[in-house]
Amino acid sequence: METFLVDQNGYYGEFGGSYIPEILHKCVEELQNTYLEVMHSESFRKEYEQLLRDYAGRPSPLYPAKRLSGKYGCKIYLKREDLNHTGSHKINNTIGQILLARRMGKKRIIAETGAGQHGVATATVCALMDMECIVYMGKTDVERQHVNVEKMKMLGATVIPVTSGNMTLKDATNEAIRDWCCHPADTFYIIGSTVGPHPYPDMVSKLQSVISEEIRKQLMEQEGREHPDYLIACVGGGSNAAGTIYHYIDDMRVQIVLAEAGGKGIETGMTAATIKLGQIGIIHGARTYVIQNEDGQIEEPYSISAGLDYPGIGPMHANLAARERATVFPINDDEAIAAAYELTQLEGIIPALESAHAIGVLKKLGFKPTDIVVLTVSGRGDKDIETYLNLRSDD
């Protein structure tokens, strides 16, 4: 049967692979040869599952959102990743990767972060496991997400502001890769999304697949069936979406709908709508869609949401879009803000700006009353309150 999961060489169709500098070959190969064995081992599974339950607070609820459902004329369930420890789905991945790092004997942890959620989730597990933690973060993001920077420092991490390029996520990732090249033997790079060279996209989607594993059980309990008609998630690099769809990816009864950041509009040049506008290129070790100019130079992306402000996209999602397995909508800043207010007013849930893009998709689809929709709320809005309030007072 045709599958949309990764193949043996680390490809999703023509996307993915491992395009890295010579100096990283040995450590990436070591990871490729180790990750599945470790992740399938009894001792890893036990420790991972116990931490997800007792430390992160899983399973996260699958909440039937009555008033939102009423508004859109179908049955909408929200997968509440916002209720996890540290406020988003990122903790599922960092717990898994730090357990792997320890089993591989690594001493030093590095990470990149955009909105700061991955930085906080990494600093958190480093505190938990007593490991050194260095987080690269664009200077622009350091300024717009200063509370997360303070949290990382309190957790004992060193935050290094990056001043190249736009000073956002892409630049932070470049800097983390540079660090990794200098310390390949003792350093584990905890990547925060389904991006980077193989095996990261597969490893991160497997660590996030606890989301769809839970959805299956929870839908069975609440609806008497395992599959929804629609799965909806936002995509930055693609990890919360990968986790949401993982166990349904080859089940054609389920429609997959993804929201990417339209920014100020895909025709304005101020956008991060990679799937709509990108062309095939190489970014951060993977072959995928990249927003680039005619010379192949990566263009500076823009989104109001720091977590979606990335000029690439995970290879899994590039392939889903290319093969029309997923429908992708760019959601603009103003649509995301309106959606955040809508969810807050109807359900009393203030979503992260990233997650608000997923809510914004509801308006673009026409539902039947019998449709069952599962939408992942990837994170909570605490970090975005200033943005929400400033925009409202500007109106």
**What residues line the site for ligand PLP (CB under 6 A)?**
88, 90, 115, 117-118, 193, 234-241, 307-308, 352, 354-355, 378-379
Q: Are strands 279-283 and 286-290 parallel, antiparallel or unpaired?
A: antiparallel
Rounded-to-integer distance, Cα 369 and Cα 373, Å: 11
Whether 394 contacts 250, CB under 8 Å? no
Cis status of the peptide bond prior to 199, with omega within 30 of 0 = yes
Other beta carbons within 10 Å of 269: 13
Other beta carbons within 10 Å of 177: 21
Q: In whole angstroms, how close is the CB of 271 to ligand PLP at the nearest point?
A: 16
156, exposed or middle or buried, with CB in 10 Å at 0-12, 13-18, 19+? Answer: middle
CB closer to ligand PLP out of 228 and 351: 351
Q: In whole angstroms, how close is the CB of 10 to ligand PLP at the nearest point?
A: 18
Q: In whole angstroms, how close is the CB of 292 to ligand PLP at the nearest point?
A: 20
CB closer to ligand PLP out of 32 and 88: 88
Q: In whole angstroms, how close is the CB of 345 to ligand PLP at the nearest point?
A: 20
Of the residues 75, 79, 90, 383, which is catalytic?
90
Sorted by sequence, the CB contacts under 8 Å of residue 370 that are 6+ apart come out as 74, 75
Which one-letter amino acid corresponds to residue 202? Answer: D
Q: What tokens appear for 44 in the block? A: 């890893």
Q: In whole angstroms, how close is the CB of 70 to ligand PLP at the nearest point?
A: 26
CB environment 66-80: b (16+ within 10 A), e (fewer): eebbeebebbbbbbb
Q: What tokens appear for 133 in the block? A: 């933690």
CB closer to ligand PLP out of 81 and 371: 81
Cα of 219 vs its chain's centroid, Å: 23
Rounded-to-integer distance, Cα 280 and Cα 337, Å: 30
DSSP-derived 3-state class of residue 317: helix
CB closer to ligand PLP out of 74 and 242: 242
Q: In whole angstroms, how close is the CB of 376 to ligand PLP at the nearest point?
A: 9
Does the annotation count 217 as an active-site position?
no
CB closer to ligand PLP out of 173 and 239: 239
Does the annotation count 378 as an active-site position?
yes
> Which residue is at the shortest CB distance from ligand PLP?
379
CB closer to ligand PLP out of 228 and 237: 237
Of the residues 69, 175, 378, 383, which is catalytic?
378
Of the residues 81, 112, 347, 354, which is catalytic?
112
Does the annotation count 112 as an active-site position?
yes
Cis status of the peptide bond prior to 59, with omega within 30 of 0 = yes
Active site residues: 90, 112, 378
